[in-house]
Amino acid sequence: MAALPLSLVVLTAGVLIKAYDTSSASGSSRLPRAEIPAQAQFIDQKAFNVLPTVLPPSQSNATTFFIPPGYDSASLTEKPFHIYDEEFYDVIGTNPTLTLLANAGTNPLFHEATTWYPPTDEMFFVQNAGAPAAGTGLNKSAIILKIALSEAAAVSSQRNATGLVNVQTVDSSPLVVNPNGGTNYRGQIVFAAEGQGDNVPSELILMNPREPYNTTVLVNNYFGRQFSSLNDVAVNPRNKDLYFTDTLYGYLQDFRPAPGLRNQVYRYNDVTGAVTAVADDFTLPNGLTFSPDGLYAYVTDTGANQGFWGWNQSNPSSIYRYNVQEDGTWDNRKLFAYVDSGVPDGVHCDSKGNVYAGCGDGIQVWNPSGKLIGKIYLGEGSANFNFAGDGRMVICAEQNLYYVTLAASGGGYIEA
Ligand SMILES: *[C@@H]1O[C@H](CO)[C@@H](O)[C@H](O)[C@H]1NC(C)=O
Ligand SMILES: *[C@@H]1O[C@H](CO)[C@@H](O)[C@H](O)[C@H]1NC(C)=O
Ligand SMILES: *[C@@H]1O[C@H](CO)[C@@H](O)[C@H](O)[C@H]1NC(C)=O
Ligand SMILES: *[C@@H]1O[C@H](CO)[C@@H](O)[C@H](O)[C@H]1NC(C)=O
Ligand SMILES: *[C@@H]1O[C@H](CO)[C@@H](O)[C@H](O)[C@H]1NC(C)=O
């Protein structure tokens, strides 16, 4: 990506000219525009470089919300589109909206595998497997759900539209046991399913997104050995292979055995059946996506969040980026971002290569150089979310489900 950050606005002979400058520290990028969208606000990072009191880790840490001086949690959620850099104006446009579509009480129904199915214009997603309030784990599988995006669009002018959109259960058959990640694949949806106990292995499973929601297992082992708990899956836009993460959350949430394999990223070629490891050296690899041109791979490492074992703040809350070579192998791993709130879980790119991740306080957005340009602030965590083509996004935030309208478009729907 050769895109340079837009960071200077030069006034020449009364005409506003946008100049490009590689320096992200230019003064003008701190300044709010006169016309800030109604649901947006500018957050001046310079204003909190020096705080009157800086609390110790026992009080200010990955699980707490940072409230900059002059704000409170109500004012941060009142205008949820937080502009950290001018480049975010192009992402949100002139009138972004955030709508609460559904609230599930204490049940974490809105978790991950947020996948748009264009032929019916529906968004699919899954319940959190293993969370105590879900009653899943070893007892029963997490369920698959969906909404019609036309119903969400109809209420997008409201901030709170709970009860106005029908959240439907999808009865996959045979059952996808504890689905977690998902994406479009071969005109259908492929799920990374975590499995259950010793006897239901973790699998990649293809599901027909229309009734009767029939399923076919693509992969259920690595040379006869069980995966630990597959977490996320993505298609590389160039070679159309499936890449997927294997990690420990099934074990750390007490519904899968101790690991028999290393935590890593694999690649699956549907023609030859080859399953190969492409990246390791993670604590807990999690979300996975590619840039729209397929040249970069992004993997989140949520090692700081150890499930039922609690938090270890010195572990990664990080996004790593790799170059994807012509032959589909990865190299040049680099630290792309370390998030300030919670862990970065689900990750997706927009059509311009900006990177979005579900974090402890909502969706955070970086430009391709890893500069934080803005947040869609929820005041609660999001494990996953996704674009539905142009200008629309659905955010899963466990008990809450949100709909967003904005200027950005999704990174592409791949007809693999
Ligand atoms: C993080 O801060 C919160 C709130 O102050 C506190 O309850 C929690 O124990 C802290 N976590 C750690 C690991 O210190
Ligand atoms: C599973 O069922 C057992 C026995 O009824 C119960 O003790 C346990 O809390 C349940 N687990 C979850 C995650 O609901
Ligand atoms: C949204 O509206 C519902 C129904 O009126 C209400 O019960 C709920 O408290 C509201 N939620 C928020 C976050 O305002
Ligand atoms: C579902 O069944 C149809 C009709 O038999 C078949 O064409 C399709 O491949 C099946 N899809 C999956 C994912 O099993
Ligand atoms: C946290 O993780 C680090 C690095 O993985 C490890 O050295 C340390 O022992 C862990 N701390 C705790 C309290 O588990």
Compute the distance between CA of residue 144 and CA of residue 180 in angstroms, rounded to an integer: 9
The pLDDT, as a whole number, for residue 413 is 67
Ligand 4 atom with minimal separation from the 207 CA? 13
Ligand 5 pocket member 312 (CB < 6 A)? yes
Regarding beta strands 40-42 and 81-83, do their DSSP bridges make them parallel or antiparallel, or are they unpaired? parallel
Q: State the distance from the centre of ligand 5 to the C-alpha of 260, rounded, in angstroms.
A: 21
Ligand 5 pocket member 58 (CB < 6 A)? no
Ligand 3 pocket member 332 (CB < 6 A)? no
Q: State the distance from the centre of ligand 2 to the C-alpha of 144, rounded, in angstroms.
A: 21
Ligand 5 atom with minimal separation from the 303 CA? 5
Q: 């649901």: which residue's tokens?
A: 39
Ligand 1 pocket member 64 (CB < 6 A)? yes
- Count other Cβ atoms within 10 Å, centred on residue 411: 24
Ligand 2 atom with minimal separation from the 254 CA? 13
**What are the distances in angstroms from CA 262 to CA 167, 281, 318, 336, 346?**
37, 9, 19, 23, 21
Q: What are the two backbone dihedrals, phi and then psi, of residue 16, each rounded to the nearest 5 degrees?
A: -80, 120
CB 142 within 8 A of CB 132: no
Ligand 3 pocket member 73 (CB < 6 A)? no
The pLDDT, as a whole number, for residue 13 is 32
State the virtual CA torsion across 67, 70, 74, 79 in degrees, nearest 10.
-100
Ligand 4 pocket member 215 (CB < 6 A)? yes
The pTM assigned to this predicted structure is: 0.92
CB 332 within 8 A of CB 299: no
- Count other Cβ atoms within 10 Å, centred on residue 174: 10
Of residues 387, 315, 322, the one with CA closest to residue 344: 315
Q: Whose CA is nearest to atom 11 of ligand 2?
A: 135
Compute the distance between CA of residue 174 and CA of residue 215 in angstroms, rounded to an integer: 6
The pLDDT, as a whole number, for residue 12 is 31
Q: Would you write out the chain's pLDDT as a tens digit for each of its 416 residues?
A: 333 333 332 333 333 333 333 334 444 455 567 789 999 999 999 999 999 999 999 999 999 999 999 999 999 999 999 999 999 999 999 999 999 999 999 999 999 999 999 999 999 999 999 999 999 999 999 999 999 999 999 999 999 999 999 999 999 999 999 999 999 999 999 999 999 999 999 999 999 999 999 999 999 999 999 999 999 999 999 999 999 999 999 999 999 999 999 999 999 999 999 999 999 999 999 999 999 999 999 999 999 999 999 999 999 999 999 999 999 999 999 999 999 999 999 999 999 999 999 999 999 999 999 999 999 999 999 999 999 999 999 999 999 999 999 999 998 766 65
Ligand 4 pocket member 23 (CB < 6 A)? no
Which CATH code fits 96-409?
A: 2.120.10.30
| Residues having CB within 6 Å of any atom of ligand 2 | 132, 135, 137, 139
Ligand 4 pocket member 40 (CB < 6 A)? no
Contacting residues for 214 by C-beta, under 8 A, at least 6 apart: 172, 173, 207, 208
The pLDDT, as a whole number, for residue 412 is 72
Compute the distance between CA of residue 363 and CA of residue 234 in angstroms, rounded to an integer: 19
**Probe ligand 5: pick from 61, 308, 312, 313, max atoms within 8 Å of CB?**
312
Ligand 3 pocket member 160 (CB < 6 A)? yes
Q: Whose CA is nearest to atom 6 of ligand 2?
A: 139
